[in-house]
Chains A and B, each alone.
Chain A
Amino acid sequence: MINSMQATISLSIVEKNGASRNRTIAMTSKSFPGGVEKRLIKFLEPADVRGTAMLIIDNKDVSDEIWIYLPALKRTRRISSSENSRSFMSSEFSNADMGSPTLSDFRSRHLEGSGTNNRWIIESIPADEDKADEYGYSRKVSYVSMDKYQVSKMDFYNFDGEHFKTIEIKEFHPMAEGKHMVSRMLATNLIRGRKSEIVFDNISDNVKVEDSFFTVQNLER
């Protein structure tokens, strides 16, 4: 379990026609008792949103709380908690893609060819229609290396059975206790032709950070 972590995150979204949007944010996260995780995000780039800050309180059993401070408007507002299928910061990543999946939400099995060429090929199908609606896909196929237990690629299929999105894990960052964290991944929406890449830099784990850092008041500082 990583207690706290800091990183600089670059998120770039590139449209089919080449238009792009880039965001650089600094994230600090810390685990709290009761399975609660709190994250404080500060926007660094672009200049017109610099100073914008978000506090995300990831509760285990109740809805998440999200607060955002907008310095130009001098307002702090809560925003509604997101569904798993909803886009992460308007990128091709969903909120579910940003965390670990809940295994019980899926029925999984090995596909043909799994266990050869140093990889497992695992199909995950949402356990029921509600879960399918929640996650926003009908089927996922993950490619996992057998020696490192690391996912290298995930293919997502829509409700027409069409392969609509691929997430490729490009880099892992070594963390404490021999664990690894995804530090670069690329999501490609095959239907919209849009790509989103997220890169974690300057990763430090188990940093010292006060509990009071994760408060609404601190957002506005």
Chain B
Amino acid sequence: MTNFVIKYRWLIISLSIIAGISMGILIPSSETDPEIRNAIPAHMQSRIETDKIEKEFGVQDMVMLLFTDSMILTPDNLKNIRDIDRAIAKLTGVTNRISPFTVKEIKSSYDMMVADPLIKRIPEDNESIEKLKTGILSNNFARDIVISSDLTTAAITATINTSERESVTLGKIDSLISTYQADEKVLKGGLPYIRRHIMDDVKHDGVFLVPMALIIMLVVLKLSLGQWKSVFMPFSVVLLSTLISMGLIPLLGWKLSIISLLAPIILIAVANNYGIYLVARYQELRMKDDISSNADLIRELMRSLSMPILFSGLTTIAGILGLLTHSIIPAKQGGVLAATGVSAALFMSLTYIPALIYLRGKNGKGIKPARITTAGFRKLLGGLSGLVVNHPGKIIAGALLLTLVISSGITLLKIETNQEYFFPKNNPVRVASKMINEKFGGSQTVSVMIAGDIKDPVVMKGIDSLTRQLEKNDGVGQVFSISQAVREMSKAIYSDGEDEYDKIPDSRESIAQMFELYNMSGDPDDFSQMMNLDNTKAHILIKLSDPSAGVIKDVRAEIENITSGFPADITIGGYAIIMAEMARSLIKGQVRSLAFALVAVLLLLTIIFRSLRGGLIGIIPLASSVLILFGFMGFTGIKIDSATALLSSIMIGVGVDFTIQYIWSFHNHRRHGLSYEESTRAALTIIGRSIIINAFTVMAGFLPLVFSGFMSIRFFGYLVIISIGSCLFGALVLIPAIIMKFRPGFLDRDFIKNKHSKYEKRDHNVNVSTAAFTGLRPAAGCRPDTEPVA
């Protein structure tokens, strides 16, 4: 390997740079996918069912424009809303719209069935306004659909079609509103607006957070390594591996999503670690007089670091690959992107950085000291090691108790798939969504498609029964179905008091002729969302005022129960159903990815430590951190969503490094004849410092996430800091205490075939445990570094 690097150094450097730049060139062509339903694989039941319904009745994604004022029914407000409504009607990208000016009043008047607009003329005097108020409050198609019951808000609901880009249509609507808007406040909601905000925020986060993370990492590297030339090596690996990873998105035909934003941040936080070890060790070795050539320097560097870096990288990759077991597409893609990036960083750290070091050689300017002082660390870690050595049992019991107490919060853990909660509370989309849920029945929907002879009275009565039953369900805002229109028509045809009034007719012909009657005076699109042209399929649209998983589950159960004897095929779909399946997938994916990551890391640790017991001890802090993480989320009300679901796998992938570093270091001290107490003190004092710096470097890398426009990414940022902190505690407190208490035998055996180099033999430095994982030069005065081991 070393000879290969030396021989092909230029080729390695060139290929690394070419690979990074080639992939980086692709990044600008990445498209953003704000559609959360695409997070669910197309073969999943909810997608299939929803696609079936949307193929027949079109996409049910609606824009909702809310006009609010202390009293919305004023002539000026109504004129503005009418002008905007008329202008929206003329937009190519809008198929249907429901507004105070499109709602019909189906009534019987002088033997005439009238399906006239609710507002024919803008009322100018108090009497007309009062009449309109009464008309709205008594009209099932108007109250809380186009005008809220408290008469403070009017709504225009527009269905967007695909004849032009959604962003173009939304731009036109925005322009119309700014042209016509007067005193009333206008809020814009619905999935198309949510998608647009996601697009904007993904772009904003990409432009803002990634550079911020890079700058933070640059500062951290400068503080750690001192010289800019030294900083360049690991930093260029971060850049190149990030470019390779992100270039995969367009190369594989994927699209940028909220989740894929995490991949570059993960890489920036993690990918520099291996480079730091190498450069720090290089800085150390070049000071030694007995290394005479560049080739010797590289050989010593690789001998001492290639294996631990490889193990560290492989365990990180194994943890991250746990994400592949998720059924949520962005989680899988995030796993592939991060694992590819870490693999590239690992490969470049073992080839490209040594090649650069070889070129830079042993000669050069003196090393500037790193700016992180060691006195504080020595004091802290000295105290800690004393505690661990003297009270291992108490520490284990305390950690167990702490884990148990915090993990009890898991019972409070909730799943969140609602896109509205991606945004902060004061975000306009969130405010609009809240108002839609409170006053207009909700923006999230369940759709039921009934395929059969819709004019059959048995089917129509079944639709009616389902509609009326669902209206009573908690969390259901409104239900729209063709049976409601049939009932309204019966009210227009028959007089109050007649048996047929407000009823579904008993004969197929009666229903058919009612529709024919409506066809003569209504618009062909009036029923297009409720029934298809040849009356073979009907659509029930259920708006949820509380789109929580429990409500969706109850609604689905109710639908299945009522329609079990229907002489028709029933399809249940819609955005809310997709989200419910996504919630189930998140739970399954969370469990699977966690199990995969823990098992993979256990296997790797078992191989690395050549002991199953060693592997099991190694995953204790990780398992404990997972429990603490979920417990903390439960207590603080942070929900599992598509971003936070990635956290545990990433935490395992990153956190395992600390454990390996500590055990490796402890083992080396033991192999050099130190007692358990001495090894604990030495390992904690030397490697503890580097583990802390390593952990804080990772935390610093993730820090920009707390400035994201998305709440779930912000939470991810906070939680990753807690997770890494928990892993740090596990590696520096719990693992040393366990080792002290139980003294496992695997620590007294060789992990790898011991090949002491001539340099190591000469100065008795503990190879890996010194600069190997420190990231900084070893602390002066520490016994294993300064005193020959007997």
Q: Contacts A15-B532, A162-B92, A191-B163 given: A90-B513 contact, CB under 8 Å?
A: no
Is B207 close to A, CB under 8 A?
no
Is A173 close to B, CB under 8 A?
no
Q: Contacts A13-B533, A19-B536 given: A89-B519 contact, CB under 8 Å?
A: yes
Please tell me if the beta carbons of B112 and A80 are within 8 angstroms of each other in the complex. Answer: yes
B165 to chain A minimum Cβ distance, whole angstroms, is 14
Please tell me if the beta carbons of A70 and B516 are within 8 angstroms of each other in the complex. Answer: yes
Q: Contacts A49-B513, A87-B524, A91-B524 given: A17-B56 contact, CB under 8 Å?
A: yes
A138 to chain B minimum Cβ distance, whole angstroms, is 8
Q: Kindly supply a per-residue 1/0 record for chain A positions 29-61, scoring 1 wherever the CB is within 8 Å of any chain B CB and 0 otherwise.
A: 000000000000001001011001010000000
B675 to chain A minimum Cβ distance, whole angstroms, is 80
Q: Contacts A20-B533, A49-B509, A49-B512 given: A77-B517 contact, CB under 8 Å?
A: yes
Of the candidates A15, A71, A82, A91, which one forms a contact with B513 in the assembled complex, judged by CB atoms under 8 Å apart? A71
A55 to chain B minimum Cβ distance, whole angstroms, is 11
Please tell me if the beta carbons of A77 and B524 are within 8 angstroms of each other in the complex. Answer: no
Please report the total number of A residues contacting B with Cβ < 8 Å.
38
Q: Kindly supply a per-residue 1/0 record for chain B positions 75-111, scoring 1 wherever the CB is within 8 Å of any chain A CB and 0 otherwise.
A: 0000000000010001110010000000000001011
Please tell me if the beta carbons of B493 and A78 are within 8 angstroms of each other in the complex. Answer: no
Please tell me if the beta carbons of A82 and B536 are within 8 angstroms of each other in the complex. Answer: no
Residues of chain B lying within 8 A (CB to CB) of residue A112: none
In the complex, residue of chain B having the shortest beta-carbon distance to the beta carbon of A20:
B534
Q: Contacts A19-B532, A80-B114 given: A48-B520 contact, CB under 8 Å?
A: no
Of the candidates A66, A75, A80, A158, which one forms a contact with B92 in the assembled complex, judged by CB atoms under 8 Å apart? A158
Please tell me if the beta carbons of B519 and A158 are within 8 angstroms of each other in the complex. Answer: no
Q: Contacts A19-B534, A72-B509 given: A78-B113 contact, CB under 8 Å?
A: yes
Please tell me if the beta carbons of B512 and A79 are within 8 angstroms of each other in the complex. Answer: no
Is B787 close to A, CB under 8 A?
no
Is B455 close to A, CB under 8 A?
yes
Residues of chain A lying within 8 A (CB to CB) of residue B91: 160
- CA of A113 to CA of B278 in the docked complex: distance in angstroms? 78
Q: Kindly supply a per-residue 1/0 record for chain B positions 149-189, scoring 1 wherever the CB is within 8 Å of any chain A CB and 0 otherwise.
A: 00000000000010100000000000000000000000000
Please tell me if the beta carbons of B116 and A70 are within 8 angstroms of each other in the complex. Answer: no
Residues of chain B lying within 8 A (CB to CB) of residue A43: 516
Is A98 close to B, CB under 8 A?
no
Q: Kindly supply a per-residue 1/0 record for chain A positions 63-97, scoring 1 wherever the CB is within 8 Å of any chain B CB and 0 otherwise.
A: 00010101111011111101000110111000000
A52 to chain B minimum Cβ distance, whole angstroms, is 6
Please report the total number of B residues contacting A with Cβ < 8 Å.
42
- CA of A164 to CA of B89 in the docked complex: distance in angstroms? 14
Please tell me if the beta carbons of A70 and B513 are within 8 angstroms of each other in the complex. Answer: yes
Q: Contacts A19-B534, A77-B493 given: A70-B517 contact, CB under 8 Å?
A: yes
In the complex, residue of chain B having the shortest beta-carbon distance to the beta carbon of A66:
B520
Please tell me if the beta carbons of A158 and B534 are within 8 angstroms of each other in the complex. Answer: no
A159 to chain B minimum Cβ distance, whole angstroms, is 3
Closest 7 CB pairs of A and B: A78-B112, A159-B90, A72-B509, A48-B512, A90-B524, A70-B513, A79-B521
What are 22 A-B residue pairs whose CB atoms fall within 8 Å in the complex? A17-B55, A21-B533, A21-B534, A46-B512, A48-B455, A70-B493, A72-B507, A72-B510, A73-B513, A73-B514, A76-B111, A77-B111, A77-B112, A77-B492, A78-B110, A79-B520, A80-B112, A82-B521, A90-B522, A90-B524, A158-B92, A159-B90
Known: A54-B520, A71-B509. 18 other contacts (CB 8 A): A15-B532, A19-B533, A21-B534, A70-B514, A72-B513, A73-B510, A73-B513, A75-B494, A77-B493, A78-B110, A78-B112, A79-B517, A80-B116, A80-B521, A87-B524, A90-B524, A91-B524, A191-B163
Residues of B within 8 A of A (CB): 55-56, 86, 90-92, 95, 108, 110-116, 161, 163, 455, 492-494, 500, 505, 507-510, 512-514, 516-517, 519-524, 532-534, 536
